[in-house]
């Protein structure tokens, strides 16, 4: 590449002057001590435009292609299960009450979070009428929403279809959700250059205990050939799970051992994760749901083993087509065996113990005040009006007149979700009955 600048070299002994580029080495004789007198000149080579410089100097390096002379390195032979970092004792960060607003402020300690901006190519601005809870005609459809600080929506990958090992670059705070997110990029391989791998970054939901430098992987596309070679060609489910069921890895539900805690759980084959995405949530894999009768239950994204369709599954009798998962609410649900789930617990488990400290922080989050019905006028709420704090000897109702207490039923008895094996306990009586059943089962 030609040099942009040149210098005039003055030889005081011979009184000669000539031009040289910055890449040449010129010996100059001088009777005086000190550096030679270099005087900068205007460039004698033609200047390039910014577009030409970008096209020449900043082109991505060519990808490294695998050749037969380079031996293929198996990354699974030296892979070691990441150690489970012990959870620190529960602590909240408090502040010296220099102002009334921080006297009651309590925050979880998350010193590992990234302090800079988000990765801008994976974000877009949060704009529109929906921020204030309004529809396309400007009418309020969700109350107590509006204003708040400017945000950018983070595009989180809930499918996790990309195979291969990915390295966690950093853990970030996401204003659009309670859990933290992790910025990951695929590892450079023999067929993928480092610069190319750095451009394929993505956001995933971070697991509790995940830190920068960890490696995660998705096995939704199947078990890699190199992993089977590292296991000596064995297809034992326990041996495969010992190498795949690690924190932060995404697997189909049928590859996860019974009793494993998972989060980011999907509901359909090939679909994205929909359950257990909030901070500190998790589910437990209980077991498989066997179906002996052919064609008895057809919903839930039917799809089976490799190379087989619906007809093949009907011939097999659909055995082990579903996996039972117990959610944190106590509900036991049947989910398709090919649905995705991530090993571990959703990060930021102490999120529910925070204290905002003042009303202004709720406004920063886009939460507007909630006004009591008895403090309104009679034209604004059924409890409004009258003298003093009186709602007029009526049953507690909402602003639309619907009963809010007393066990008012809102769920229909028909069209019950058949994938719910055990519904979550509702009410104090149901919770006490569930506890009694657990005690009987233990005894």
pLDDT computed for residue 267 by the predictor: 95
Residue span(s) of the chain under CATH 2.40.50.140 come to: 92-294+301-343
- Check pLDDT > 60 for residue 16: no
pLDDT computed for residue 154 by the predictor: 95
pLDDT computed for residue 319 by the predictor: 53
On whether the CB atoms of residues 247 and 210 are closer than 8 A, the answer is: yes
- Check pLDDT > 60 for residue 3: no
First-last CA distance in the chain: 82
Lookup result for tokens 């080495």:
25
Q: How far apart are CA 262 and CA 128, in angstroms?
A: 35
- Check pLDDT > 60 for residue 273: yes
Counts for the chain of helices (H) and strands (E), in that order: 7, 20
Looking at residues 188-216, what average pLDDT do you find?
81
Fold of 92-294+301-343: OB fold (Dihydrolipoamide Acetyltransferase, E2P) (2.40.50)
Per-residue pLDDT of 64-81, as tens digits, reads: 444 444 556 777 776 777
pLDDT category of residue 90 using cuts at 50, 70 and 90: confident
pLDDT computed for residue 5 by the predictor: 42
- Check pLDDT > 80 for residue 195: no
CA-closest candidate to residue 421, choices 303, 325, 295 = 325
On whether the CB atoms of residues 146 and 368 are closer than 8 A, the answer is: yes
Rounded to 5°, angle at Cα 393 from 388 and 394:
120
CA dihedral sign, ordered 31, 32, 34, 37: negative
pLDDT computed for residue 63 by the predictor: 52
Exposure of 377 in the CB half-sphere (CA atoms within 13 A): 2
pLDDT category of residue 292 using cuts at 50, 70 and 90: very low
pLDDT computed for residue 256 by the predictor: 93
Least confident among 19-33, 157-171, 226-240, 396-410: 19-33
pLDDT category of residue 441 using cuts at 50, 70 and 90: confident
pLDDT category of residue 426 using cuts at 50, 70 and 90: confident
pLDDT category of residue 304 using cuts at 50, 70 and 90: very low
3-class DSSP assignment, residue 244 = helix
- Cross-strand pairs, 163: none
Tokens coding 88? 């620190």
Q: How far apart are CA 327 and CA 336, in angstroms?
A: 15
pLDDT computed for residue 188 by the predictor: 78
CA-closest candidate to residue 278, choices 348, 218, 364, 175 = 348
Tell me what the pLDDT averaged over the chain comes to: 78
Per-residue pLDDT of 21-48, as tens digits, reads: 443 433 434 444 444 444 444 444 455 4
Looking at residues 152-158, what average pLDDT do you find?
95
Looking at residues 269-296, what average pLDDT do you find?
79
């Amino acid at each position: 590449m030609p040099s942009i600048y040149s210098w005039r070299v003055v030889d005081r002994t011979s009184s000669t002057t000539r031009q040289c580029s910055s890449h040449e080495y010129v010996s100059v004789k001088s009777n005086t001590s000190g550096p030679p007198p270099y005087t900068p000149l205007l460039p004698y080579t033609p200047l390039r435009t910014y577009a030409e410089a970008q096209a020449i100097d900043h082109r991505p390096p060519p990808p490294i292609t695998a050749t037969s002379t380079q031996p293929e390195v198996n990354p699974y032979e030296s892979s070691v299960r990441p150690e489970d970092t012990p959870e620190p004792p529960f602590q909240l960060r408090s502040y010296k009450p220099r102002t009334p607003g921080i006297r009651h402020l309590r925050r979880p300690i998350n010193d590992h979070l990234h302090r800079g901006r988000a990765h801008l190519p994976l974000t877009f601005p949060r704009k529109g009428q929906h921020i204030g809870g309004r529809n396309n005609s400007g009418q309020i459809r969700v109350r107590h929403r509006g204003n708040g600080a400017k945000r950018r929506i983070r595009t989180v990958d809930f499918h996790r279809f990309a195979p291969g090992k990915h390295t966690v670059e950093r853990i970030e705070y996401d204003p659009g959700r309670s859990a933290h997110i992790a910025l990951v990029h695929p590892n450079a391989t023999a067929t993928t250059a480092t610069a190319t791998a750095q451009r394929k970054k993505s956001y995933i939901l971070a697991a509790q205990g995940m830190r920068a430098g960890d490696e995660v992987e998705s096995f939704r596309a199947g078990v890699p050939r190199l992993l089977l070679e590292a296991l000596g060609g064995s297809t034992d489910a326990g041996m495969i799970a010992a190498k795949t069921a690690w924190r932060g890895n995404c697997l189909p539900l049928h590859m996860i051992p019974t009793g494993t805690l998972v989060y980011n759980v999907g509901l359909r084959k090939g679909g994205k994760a929909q359950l257990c995405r909030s901070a500190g949530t998790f589910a437990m894999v209980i077991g498989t749901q066997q179906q002996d009768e052919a064609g008895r239950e057809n919903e839930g994204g039917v799809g089976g083993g490799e190379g087989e369709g619906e007809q093949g599954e009907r011939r097999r009798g659909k055995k082990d087509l579903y996996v039972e998962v117990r959610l944190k609410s106590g509900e036991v649900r049947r989910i398709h065996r090919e649905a995705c789930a991530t090993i571990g617990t959703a990060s930021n488990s102490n999120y529910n113990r925070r204290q905002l400290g003042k009303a202004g922080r709720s406004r920063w989050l886009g939460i507007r005040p909630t006004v009591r019905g008895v403090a309104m006028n009679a034209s604004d709420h059924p409890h409004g009006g009258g003298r003093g704090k009186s709602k007029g000897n009526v049953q507690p109702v909402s602003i639309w007149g619907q009963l809010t207490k007393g066990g008012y039923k809102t769920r229909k008895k028909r069209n019950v979700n058949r994938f719910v094996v055990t519904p979550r306990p509702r009410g104090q009586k149901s919770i006490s009955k569930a506890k009694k059943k657990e005690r009987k089962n233990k005894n």
